Amino acid sequence: MYHFIQKFHSGWAYLALLLLFVASINSLVGYLKKKEFTPKDRKIALFALIAMHIQLVVGLILYFVSPYGKESFGLMHDADLRLTSLEHPLVNIIAIVFITIGWSRHKKAATSEAKFKALYLPYIIGLLLVLSRIPWKLWF
């Protein structure tokens, strides 16, 4: 079961990152070009939000069924172990909080400019946080 969840978490990450990247760029371009906020823009941001939340849930399940999660707390001197057992989950939870706040703020905004503005900065911050804590050695 552990290996299936690990493979799913790693594979889903590509889709989640792609959707988050597209939503971030779409929101930034929409804000800079003063475009009208359309249902398509809302769906792009929503799909990124849903993909990231699925990634979080799968990641939390993986963390608690992982043999590394149970043994990792006494081994914080190992940088690779610290990344996968502490930094990666913690920073990604913070990233998803930013993304969720952006989604919530955009729903309260009245104008298209305000909607794009509420989305682009938290989504970009979330994307950068996620990219900063990916265990790249395990991906390639």
Measure the CA–CA gap between 23 and 139, rounded to whole angstroms: 23
* pTM higher than the cut 0.85: yes
Using DSSP's 3-state secondary structure scheme, residue 62 falls into: helix
Q: What would the pLDDT profile of 85-121 be if each residue is shown by its tens digit?
A: 888 999 999 999 999 999 999 999 999 999 999 999 9
The angle subtended at Cα 93 by Cα 90 and Cα 96, nearest 5°, is 150
Sign of the CA dihedral with 50 first, then 27, 92, and 88 last: positive
Per-residue tokens: 39: 């249902």
Q: What is the CA radius of gyration of the chain?
A: 16
- Please name which of 21, 119, 1, 139 lies closest in space to residue 65, comparing C-alpha atoms: 1
The angle subtended at Cα 9 by Cα 123 and Cα 58, nearest 5°, is 80
Q: What would the pLDDT profile of 16-54 be if each residue is shown by its tens digit?
A: 999 999 999 999 999 999 999 999 999 999 999 999 999
- Please name which of 105, 134, 123 lies closest in space to residue 52, comparing C-alpha atoms: 123
| Helical segments of 1-111, H only | 2-32, 39-65, 67-71, 79-82, 88-108
